[in-house]
Each structure stands twice: as C-alpha cells, then as structure tokens.
Structure 1
Amino acid sequence: KKKCQCVYNAEWETQFKWIVPDRENSTNAKCKQCIAAFTVKWDGAKAVKSHEKSTSHQQKTKIVTQNAVLDKFTVRSGSSEEDKVTLAEVVNVFHSIQHHHSYLSMDCGLKPAHKMFPDSNIAIKTSCGKAKCEAICCNVIAPHSVETVLKILSDASNKGNRKLFPLCVRYFTTSGIKDRVLDFYEDSDETLEAISAKIKLILKNCN
C-alpha cells in the first residue's frame, strides 16, 4: 500500500507557535526553539506532535522560557534599548552629582523606580551600583566636563570688506561656567595657520 506524502501546512502555526516552514524543502518543518528542521513527509501533523513531545524540544523550550524571564531584567548588547538604558544611567549620575549626592544614594534612588514604573523596560533595567556610578562619573562625565569648559572659541565676522575676529574663552568657576571675550581683532588673513598663530600670540600676551 502506497503512503501519501505530506507537505508543510501553514495552519499548524496556529496550534504550534514554535513552527515555521522550511524554505528549501516543502516536506520539512523548522523548529524556532531547536533551530533544526525535521520531516513531515510521511506523518504530517503527527510528526509535528512527535517533535513537540521529544526530550530535546522540551529542554530547549525550558531554556527559552527561562531566557524570556531574564530578558525582563537584562539588556542585549548592541541594541537600541542598551543605548536608552545607558543614557538613563548617565542622566541619573549627572543629576545626582549636581545635587551632591553620594554614590550609595544614587543606587538606592533607582530602586523605587523599578516598582513605580513596572511597565517601563528602561526603568526596570536601569541599575547603578556604587562602582558603576563612580566609573560613569570619572570616565564619562568628568572628562566631558573638562573638555567642555576648557575651550577657546574664535570665528570670523565680515563687516563690509573687513574681517573681524572675536576670541572668547570659556572657563569654570565656583559659580558655574563663564564665557568671556578675550580679544577682538581685525585680520585680512582667514587661513587656519593665520588664525592659529594669532590665537597663540594673544594667549601669550595675556599670560
């Protein structure tokens, strides 16, 4: 007696959420959890049920379920979500520094957010222990702050046929960041070398 040959049936996906078609072979099905193909050529839906009951599939299903739970509290490296969580942590540390909070208080301050915003993946996955807060402060915020406040700014402004250059300096005091005009000069030469030489001369004259 000849046996009927079966092909993949898309209706199986309604009952078995883990199954997908094998694009290379219509008599095969693929398991998303096992990441493997198996034949449905002779047994059809029976082969699908048999695969679901197999020890290998059940073990993989258990692992996938555990990973799904962990995903609620961990961030995948290189994802857009990782960037958002990192930004939230940096903002928290920066805000705490502005108000002179300790590293320990930063970590403690984030814990209520996990319970207050349970529907936010960013809030749940944001964490800042003492060591992490210190690392963000010393290796990210501090270098950026130094780079921001120690800038010399110069730009050309045309007044008719005259080229005027305001030279400004930005510096930090106990009352915050200050911007001041150091010099305002005229020069017809707008090349990079000329501007650089002039800035060096003015800084030298101002000690």
Structure 2
Amino acid sequence: MDSEIIIEDDNDDNDDNDDNDDNDDNDDNDDNDDNDDNDNNHEESIPTTPVLKSNENKNVKAASNTCEKKKKKGVFNLQWLLDSQLGSFLREYKPDSTKALCIACNEKFSIHYGGKNDIDRHIKLKRHIHNMKSFSINRQLITSTMKPNKESEEVAAAEGTFVYHGVKHGHSYSSQQCTTNVIKTIFSSCSAIGKSMSCGRTKCSSIALNVLAPYFTQQILIEVKEACFFSIMFDASNKGNSKLFPVCVQYFSKFGVKKGIIDLIDDADESATNTFENLEAAIKKSGLSLEGLTSIGA
C-alpha cells in the first residue's frame, strides 16, 4: 500500500513539473514574441522622424530662398564698364542705382529685376542697334577731328582748379560764373588762359559732378582699402521733394583720421529694411568689404 502511494505521488510531481515547464516555455515564447513585436515597431518608427524633419528643413530653406530673392535688389555694377562692348554706350545713372543710362539711345532703363539680363535685353532692341550704327560713326568723326592742344589743356586745368576752389569753399555756381566774367575782364590783355576761361553755371556743375567728384571718390576708396577698417555715417535730408541719404566714410590714413562722401542715395522710403539694403548696396558698389566695417553712425 505504501509503495503504491509513493509511486502515485511521483507521477503527480512529474506531471506538475511537465506542466510548469510547458508554462515556462509558453511564457518565454510569449516574451520573445512581444520583444520581436517591439523591435519591429521600433524599426518601423525610426525613419519617420528624420523624414519629417528633412521635409520641414526643405520647406524652411525654400521659404528663406524665396524671401532672399524677393529682397534682392538689382543695382548698377561698375565692373560692367570694363567690358569693351558695354563700356562704349553704357553709363551709370547716378540719381537711381537701379537704372542704367544708354548714351547711344539717350535713355535710361531699369535693371531692378534682371540686372545684366536687362542690359542684354536692351542691346537686342531694334532702335538700339540702329542708334549704335550712327553713334559709332559720329564718335569716330569726333575723335578723328579733335587734336590735343597745349593751350586748351591749360585752359581746362585752370577751369578745373577754379571750380575745385569754389566747391571747397562752398561758393555757388552763380557766383563762380560772375567771378569768371571778372577774371576775363581783368586778364584779357595779358593772359590767353584768363581770356579763354568760360565757367558758367552749367559748365561748373558738369566739371564738379563728372570730373572732380569721380576722381576724389576713387582716391578716397583707394585709401579706405589700404586702411582695411572703416566706419559708415549717414543721415536723411530733404531737398525739395527728394529724400537724400549721403553716405560718409571715416577711416585712418597716413595723414590721420579722414572723412569723405562715397555715395548719395535718393530714396523716399525711410524704413529700416530699405535703409539697410541701400547701405549694403552702396558699400558693395564701392568695392569695400563688409568685414572691414567697424561701426555705423548717423
């Protein structure tokens, strides 16, 4: 009796162990399945976040590029004049840097949106091609008939010196015209140069704007580039219906601290964004580096 009872207990224990082992195996399999599911879910979720971020970055870059294109402002580039084809007829329109002047057609046109493409488009116009033919012939006739004369060069030098003196001391063009008449009266009998001088208001203005101003502006820019560092000062002033922004530069040269005007901007818009764009365009047009700008004043 006792031995039979013992045998039955052993069988029950074995059955219980088998059941436990089966349960453990099932639990392990369930855990493995859960882990596999988690791994699969993790692997599937990994690429979604970078894709979304990359798409967002592309959208941000596209929007920023669009804004930059809208803010970009086409201005006249002095490097265009170095081209022999463009330099023969193209000139800078100083009252508005977003326009160019064609002396063959005697008209100004906008380069605000296309830049050099607008110039190429103007060259292909029929009226420009027709005007260039007569312009080239007239230019050859003028240069072939004009011969240098020592006396005329001396008169030109005297007139340039006279206008420079008047501008330096703030004399009006009307007063310079009156002074020229006095000089001609006094020195007509003893000086051929004094007798030949003629500086009316229009001529004084042309000498100051087209001869003296470009030369001294170029000299200032050469000295600023040698100094490397500079500061910019500007302020708005009203002249009739025009809003003018003179751009003044200050730098340290071998003669000490110097100041000079490098540009005069005519723009009625006084917003901060437009003022910044005008200053940036003036600095780039002058060939200066923004890295050398140390301060801005008004």
- TM-score category, normalised to shorter length: 0.3 to 0.5
TM-score (norm 1): 0.40
What TM-score do you get using the length of structure 2 for normalisation? 0.29
| Higher fraction of strand | 1
